[in-house]
Structure 1
Amino acid sequence: MHMCFLWSAQLILEAVEVFENIKRMVTVAAIVALASQIYINLFVSDFKISFGIIMFPVLLYLFESINPSQTGLLAAIFVYMLRIGIFALNNGDYMSAVDSYFPETFFYVAYGMLYHLMNDANSVLRMKRLFINLVICDFFSNLIELYIRINWELLEPKFEIAGWLMLVAVGRALAVCAIIVALKYYRLLVLKQNHEERYRKLLWIISQLKTEMYWMEKNMDNIENVMSNAYSLFGKISSEKDRDSWAEISVNIAKDVHEIKKEYGLIFRGVEEIIENKLNDPGMNLKDIIKILKDSMLTEARMKGHKLTLEFHHESNFYTEKHYQLMSILRNLIVNAMEAIDSAGNGKIVFNQRESETEQVFSVTDNGCGISAEDIAHIYSAGFSTKIDYDTGQINRGLGLCLVKEIVEKQLMGRIDVDSKEGQGTVFKVSIPKNILEVGSN
């Protein structure tokens, strides 16, 4: 049953990913088709050098998950149909445009295939290599279109035309690289500004929390005094000594407890004010939350010596101002999954996000040791833990899942479910109403 659930979930996620890629390819093809209407004629009639081919590689670079060959074919169809449609609107017929614009489709198909072959989707391209690849893609795609449009043997002078094609290819490749670099620097600038603002807030928060910690340390001394007096009173009562002092000691203990309670109330209100006011900064997109989470979890796994694969899949990229709560939930679930995986083994943790009409649903799946049937009923209890480091004797605090349940159910009005099979793995699923988690979804 558990394996069937995992298999079904994987199939759904793969189908969702395919659908998302199709949407991206259609979007890229539509943008390229619109941009292709900005062009100049060169060499022969209807041989157009368009802005669309500058946008095409830029979008392929940005949407790295899409298939370049398939997107090139789709872009060719979109460009071809749009050119014929515009020609028909301007001239009243379309038959003369059918043959005239058809060779241009070979350019986009060839470009997409060459880009696909030369640019490995799993490698991080340096700008120099990307530039060379773009020049080659552009030059040979133009050459193929020109050959289809008019026999190469009829073109004179060949070397001069080839030189012009190479010049055009270099120029457009430079333009593409310039746009990509500009987009990168713009994104870095925005991220830097956001990080600086968050860092300033974090420093201010820490300074205020430090003040509250001084009060907590002071109260620790008071608690020690209360414990000492209470134990002293217990000794006197047990031995029935100094009966006259029992009442006075009891009153002093009650006064001290009252003072501790009062000061902890002040501390709580101070921390609550910090959280409500100082953390009231702009929210985050799910994609940014996932990136931070993935980087930090991989770092933590390396530090603890865990050999594992961490996968993240998301169906949407909603914006939320509950990013602190969501980050805390997901981090604790992933840490819990990491602790369930043998550090010497090759574990796998998969995070998935999907949405229904009313809820955002998150799941964290691991192939760890699983949870026994008798333990599942207690996993959300504070202090309960099945994780023991037998080398050091240290026991996990067991607060993670208790905290997750508290945040999910009481702060976000959601629910948490678990499906686990001992020796095979565990799936935690968290469902949170959209109108609570998302901004502007009422």
Structure 2
Amino acid sequence: MSRSKIYQLFTISFIIAALATFHLAIFKVGFIVTISIVFLPFFIYLKKNLGALSICSVTAFISPLVRCVTLLPQYDYNVALSMILPEIPFYLTYGLIFHYLYERRKNKTLIKFIIITIFCDYGSNIVEMLFRGGFGGISITVLKGLLIVALLRSAILFLLIISMKHYQSFLINQEHETRYRYLLNLTSTFKSEIYFMKKNMAHIEKIMGKSFEAYKMGGVENISSELRETLLNLTKEVHEIKKSYISVIQGIKKTFPELMELSDLDLKH
């Protein structure tokens, strides 16, 4: 596994562990209900390349460790340990259920994802309760409570993912709008430049024509050969300027064909 993936795994685990410090203790001593279990599947959803088993395995180590640090000032070491150890099978069970019921399946949708998180949440909590007090600690009331907790956390997860998708869509639309405005301004600039280039081309054609006429008239008027040579060179230089304009226009035409309408312009040289 790359260093980048390891860094991401530990970062996600510490975030979940930090969120787990804000919790509600219900059902049994040491058992907590926390919003962090909303963000666990959320990170699994965002970081599909990491895999649920990897995320949950690292979290199973980091989260109890962080919680142990917060409990030691209040409880004896053995008591704190007994309170946090059942969290390890919770995270491992969560990762296993998610991996086998969702990640290994081909058809993956958001609705299936949410349904699987309900199973993961509910099943993992039951496993944790079994480690805390055995079958004697599980009653109908506890099972109903765990189901309600799983449903509520999955509902929050669903709203979180939908909100994220809408926000991403909003950013994409803004980016498209910004790009469209840029292209619109670029198109306007090109068309303005092309308009003036066309005018200059027409002007160059006239100058070249007049220069060449002067060169031909020199043969009739018997002017000096030096002057005729100068007029011919001038005609050639003007022609080179014309060729440079043509090259620029053709380059723009190739790059932005929709901007160039050269049907009215003779580009032969």
Tell me, what secondary structure is at the counterpart of 2:74?
Answer: helix
Q: Once the 2 structures are TM-superposed, how far is the Cα of residue 155 of structure 1 from its aligned partner?
A: 3.6
Q: Mapping of 1:249-264 within 5 angstroms?
A: 249-250=231-232, 253=235, 256=238
2:118 to 129, 135, 138: 135
Determine if contact 1:85/1:94 at 8 Å carries over to the other structure. Answer: no
TM-score w.r.t. structure 2 length? Answer: 0.76
TM-score w.r.t. structure 1 length? Answer: 0.48
Q: Once the 2 structures are TM-superposed, how far is the Cα of residue 221 of structure 1 from its aligned partner?
A: 4.9
In structure 2, what is the Cα distance between the partners aligned to 1:138 and 1:229? 88
Tell me, what secondary structure is at the counterpart of 2:33?
Answer: strand
**Corresponding residue of 1:117:** 100
**Corresponding residue of 2:175:** 194
**Corresponding residue of 1:83:** 67
Q: Which amino acid aligns with 1:26?
A: F
Q: Which amino acid aligns with 1:73?
A: S
**Corresponding residue of 1:165:** 146
**Corresponding residue of 1:213:** 194
Q: Which amino acid aligns with 2:144?
A: G
Pair 1:159–1:232, CA change in 2 (3 A): farther
Tell me, what secondary structure is at the counterpart of 1:61?
Answer: helix
**Corresponding residue of 1:44:** 28
Determine if contact 2:39/2:157 at 8 Å carries over to the other structure. Answer: yes
**Corresponding residue of 1:178:** 159
Q: Mapping of 1:220-369 within 5 angstroms?
A: 220-221=201-202, 244=223, 246-247=228-229, 249-250=231-232, 253=235, 256=238
Pair 1:62–1:123, CA change in 2 (3 A): farther
Identity %: 24
Q: Once the 2 structures are TM-superposed, how far is the Cα of residue 180 of structure 1 from its aligned partner?
A: 1.3
Q: Once the 2 structures are TM-superposed, how far is the Cα of residue 117 of structure 1 from its aligned partner?
A: 2.2
Determine if contact 2:20/2:35 at 8 Å carries over to the other structure. Answer: yes
Determine if contact 2:208/2:238 at 8 Å carries over to the other structure. Answer: no
Tell me, what secondary structure is at the counterpart of 1:90?
Answer: coil
RMSD over aligned CA atoms reads 3.6
Q: Once the 2 structures are TM-superposed, how far is the Cα of residue 225 of structure 1 from its aligned partner?
A: 6.8
In structure 2, what is the Cα distance between the partners aligned to 1:95 and 1:160? 29
Higher RCO structure (Cα 8 Å, ≥6 apart): 2
In structure 2, what is the Cα distance between the partners aligned to 1:226 and 1:137? 83
Pair 1:82–1:223, CA change in 2 (3 A): same
Determine if contact 1:30/1:78 at 8 Å carries over to the other structure. Answer: yes
In structure 2, what is the Cα distance between the partners aligned to 1:225 and 1:124? 70
Q: Which amino acid aligns with 2:194?
A: M
Determine if contact 2:208/2:239 at 8 Å carries over to the other structure. Answer: no
Unaligned runs of 5+ in 1: 1-14, 272-442
Determine if contact 2:212/2:231 at 8 Å carries over to the other structure. Answer: no
2:129 to 146, 154, 162: 146
